[in-house]
A and B are shown apart, each in its own frame.
Chain A
Amino acid sequence: MESTLLKLEQVNTHIDQFHILQNVDFEVKSGEVTVLLGRNGAGKTTTLRTIMGLNGATSGSIVFKGENITKLPPYEIAKKGIGYVPEDQGIFYDLTVEENFRVGMRKDDDGTKERMEWVLELFPDLKKFWRKPGGQLSGGQKQMLSIARAYVNDNDLLLIDEPSKGLAPVIVEKVIESIDKMKERTTVVLVEQNFYMASKLGDAFFILDDGITVHHGRMEQLIRDEELKRKYLGIA
């Protein structure tokens, strides 16, 4: 029986005068890939940013590993064991691949070395372009670097925002394969518009619509529910 790793209860987030997240409830079980779905502007990215503390929740609670992290700053939340892969990948363009890893590495112990070796086997391109500036990588390589960098630290949870965005189908397949291997080692929250990717990787799903959680359940249920997919995801 999986335990709850992350729980959002009645979370509200405002950005300037806009009320983006409205009483959002969201739960992530250890060892699973939980997919956040919804149309553009539904509040998926804001949910991840609120978990990371980049957009502070105005009310509600966010509990991670039994600890309330709602009011913590982003760097403290990261240190609790949450890795973040933003929509724009967050690569430092002037830093090399190696420096992009080093700048975010919180420890230099055996565990980190083991994860680094593992992730470089998973993404051999990163090893090949080790001394190349991050800005010169292709879109797919940047995505791999962003995911790998988040994984290398001893994180219990990875928040990955739209990893398929802007990538060619063949690269999307590679990313799916990589996250599929990664999910054996860590828990993942995936924001994804690409339902093919979401259905391939997801164990559980939450659907957001206009900042409100409208549905959640197991991914296999959603795959079968044509009406739900049509209504909230625009999939005919």
Chain B
Amino acid sequence: MELIINLAINGISTGMLIFLIAAGLTLIFGLMDVLNFAHGGIFAWGAYAGVWFFSLTQSFLLSILAAVVTGLLIGLVTEYLIIRPVYGNHIQQILITLGFMLVLSEMLKVVFGPDIKAAETPSYLSGSWTIGDVTIIKYRAFIIAVGFLVFIAMQLILKHSKIGLIVRAGVMDREMIQALGVNIRKVFVGVFMVGSALAALGGALFAPSSGVVYAEMGMEFGIFAFIVVIIGGMGSIPGSLIAALLVGISNVFMAYYLPILSMAVTMLIMFVVLIFKPQGLFSTSGVSNK
């Protein structure tokens, strides 16, 4: 039983990391109709920025802040230089963002060197708690807590603030929100920056959990995030959370019991969801995206 609980906790914490990347991606995808394959690259930059700042300052909080700022800045530059010229054209978006993903990965090697970097866990988050026969790794519990806090914060902002209402309305009907006097392009930039910052936060939290960072990690996690967005329904934050937890937990269990099929189970979940709910589990009913 304790094994199952431990695997479940690992799965939830993995799911929370995927959620942090997918939450930004689902907003960008849902609101802006942009397929951003460079999103994983921003996750990797967040991880490297966090590791680098932690080695400089030994402050985990500062390293997280540095990663978030890195994500905001890369998001701003990416929207302005890469995305803006290709709004409305999915093929061009896929090509240019995949290319930019490679650029981001290679730039990591240029700036930080080609070798894998070790990532430390801050001392106060190292170790574990033992409750009965169950061992809870502190850092995994921390990731779960941060993931839930981000989810709650996003829900509160989206449900109760004016800007949240505008974003939700923009996901449903971009044209109408403009006809009501909202400059949706400005909102796009803000959402793109916040989405990128969430990916970078996910990267910074992932690094101590895995113990290492490497330039190609962005591509691996970026694919997971896309699958989660498709399963959860584009534009839906609760959908992304549920889908990320589903993918995280099923992956950890499969990796333990049937490692050869750990990636296949993710694809299987997506396959089943697409057959029965092509719009995803929690697609917003009012999506027209004119």
Residues of chain A having any CB pair with chain B under 8 Å: 52, 54, 73-75, 78-79, 84, 86, 88, 90-95, 99, 102-104, 106, 134-135, 149, 153
Given A90-B176, A102-B162, A135-B286; A95-B181 close (CB under 8 Å)? no
**How far, in angstroms, from A93 to B169 measured CA to CA in the complex?**
9
A90, A134, A135 interface centre (most CB from chain B within 10 Å): A90
Establish whether residues B176 and A75, one from each chain, have CB atoms under 8 Å apart when the complex forms.
no
How many residue pairs, one in A and one in B, have C-beta atoms under 8 Å apart? Answer: 72
Q: How far is the CA of A93 from the CA of B283 in the complex (A)?
A: 12
Question: Which chain B residue shows the least CB distance to A85?
Answer: B179
CB atoms of A52 and B179 under 8 A apart = yes
Contacting residues, chain B, for A88 (C-beta < 8 A): 288
* B183 part of interface (Cβ distance < 8 Å): yes
Q: How far is the CB of B88 from the nearest CB of chain A, in Å? A: 13
Footprint of A on B, CB under 8 Å? Answer: 162, 165-166, 168-169, 172-173, 175-184, 284-286, 288
Residue contact A102 to B165, C-beta cutoff 8 Å: yes
Starting from the known contacts A92-B173, A95-B169, A95-B286, 8 additional A-B residue pairs (CB-CB under 8 Å) come to A54-B178, A75-B184, A86-B179, A92-B172, A93-B286, A94-B172, A94-B284, A103-B177
Cross-chain contact of B179 among A90, A95, A106, A135 (Cβ < 8 A): A90
User: Nearest Cβ distance between residue A225 and chain B, in whole angstroms?
Assistant: 34
- The answer on a CB contact under 8 Å between A78 and B175 is no
Can you list 7 A-B contacts (CB < 8 A)?
A54-B179, A74-B175, A86-B176, A93-B286, A102-B162, A103-B180, A104-B180
Given contact pairs A54-B175, A92-B173, A106 touches B166 in the complex (Cβ within 8 A): no
Closest 7 CB pairs of A and B: A93-B286, A104-B180, A90-B176, A78-B181, A74-B178, A84-B179, A103-B165
Q: In the assembled complex, which residues on chain B have CB atoms less than 8 Å from the CB atom of A75?
A: 178-184
